[in-house]
Amino acid sequence: MRWVAVLGVFLLLLFAGCTGKSGESPQAAGEAAGEITINGAGASFPYPLIAKWSYEYYKLTGVKINYQSIGSGGGIKQTMAKTVDFGASDAPLKEEEYRRMPGILHIPETLGAVVVVYNIPGVEAKLRLTGEVIADIFLGKITRWNDPRIAELNPGVELPDEQIVVVHRSDGSGTTFVFSDYLSAVSPEWREKVGKGKSLKWPLGLGGKGNEGVAGLVKQNPYSIGYVELAYAVENRLSYALIKNREGNFVEPGIESVAAAAAGAVASLPRGDESWAGVSIVNAPGENAYPISSFTYLLVYRDLSVIPGMTERKAKALVDFLWWAIHDGQKYAPELHYAPLPEEVVKLNEETIKLITYQGKPLL
C-alpha cells in the first residue's frame, strides 16, 4: 500500500504544478508566468492584416493575438456572448445590436476595398462594370458574359457566350454587408428585392464561407463572378473589375482610391462609444473614389472586466495592442492592400481607447 500513498503524493504535486497556486486556473498560472494570449474573432476582410499584426506584435512583446477568421456575423455573436476578448466586423453594429451590447466601442482599424472578381478563360483585359450591371448579374437578370450591357462597357474585349456562374458568401459577412450596401445605393431593384445586410436571401449562386471560400470557388469555376476583399483577389491572382464611381469614372481599387472614398466621411464620424449604424463610405463622392470601400472595425467593451476570465494584466495588454495597431501597426497596411487610417481617425481612436477601463480603472 506504500506505493499507493507515494503515487497519491506524486499526483497531488503534479496537479498543483499544473494549476499554479492553490485554486488558480492553468490560464491564470500561465499569465502569471508571463504568457498572455488575447483572443479575437470575426471578419475575414481584415484577416491578412490582423495576422500580420499578430506576428509582428508577438515578436515585439511576446503577447499572443489569437484571431479566428469566422466572418463578421460570427464575430458579433461571440462579442455579444463575451466569449472573446475582442471582435471584428466590416459592418458597424446595427442599432439593435448596439443596444444589446452596452458599453461596446467601435474602433476603425483600417480601410479596404471589396472587389468584383471573375474567372473568364481567355479574357486578359480588366473588365469595366457599373453597379447597375453588377446588381443585375447577381439578381439573375444578366446571365451570359457576352450580354450587350457588359459588351457595351468593354468595347474591343471578346466576351464568351458562356453562362455566368455567380458566387457569394454563405456565412454572416461584413464583406457582404459592404457589397450589398453599395448595390442598394445604386440599384433600386436590388434595394427592394434583396436589400443590404450581413446575411442575405440570394436570388441564385454558389455559396462560399469567408473571403477565402469565395475566392476559392471563383478560382475553381470557369466563367464565375464573385466579390472579395482586395487582398484575397491579389493573393489568389484573380482578375477584378474597374467599377464606375459616382462621378462617372471607372476606378481601380487600391490604397489611394479607398482613401479618397473615406476622405469626405472623416469629419462627420461618431465618437467610438456612440452608434456607428449609419456610417457608410460606399458610392462616395470624389473623382478618384473607389465606390465599394469600407472601414473595418474592432469591437471592444469599454470596461473589460465584463469578459469572463479577464484580468487587469490581460486588459492592459489588450489596450496596449490596440494602441500599437492604430499607430505603428498601420505601416503594414499598404503592403497588404489596405489603406492606413487617416490622421483624424487615428485621433478619434485614441480618444476611444482612452475610455477603456478594467473595473472602472483607466488602462492608459
Residue 187: count other Cβ atoms within 10 Å of its Cβ.
Answer: 21
pLDDT of residue 225: 98
The distance of Cα 67 from the centroid of its chain, to the nearest Å, equals 12
Strands 357-358 and 361-362, bridge-based pairing? antiparallel
Report yes or no: 356 and 305 within 8 Å, Cβ to Cβ.
no
Task: Give residue-wise pLDDT tens across range 221-271.
Answer: 999 999 999 999 999 999 999 999 999 999 999 999 999 999 999 999 999
- Residue 34: per-residue pLDDT: 66
Query: What pTM was computed for the model?
Result: 0.88
Sign of CA dihedral 212, 214, 217, 220: negative
User: CB 39: neighbour CB atoms within 10 A?
Assistant: 18
Q: Which domains does the chain have, with CATH numbers?
A: 2-110+296-362 (3.40.190.10), 113-268 (3.40.190.10)
Residues 27 and 72 sit within 8 Å (Cβ to Cβ): no
Lookup: cell for 97: 445590436
At 157 the three-state DSSP class reads: coil
Amino acid at 137: I
- Dmax over CA atoms of the chain, in Å, equals 91
Cβ atoms within 10 Å of 258's Cβ, excluding its own: 27
- Kind of pairing between the strands at 250-251 and 165-169: unpaired
**pLDDT, position 224:** 98
Q: Which residues of the chain have pLDDT under 70?
A: 1-34
Q: How many residues does the chain have?
A: 364
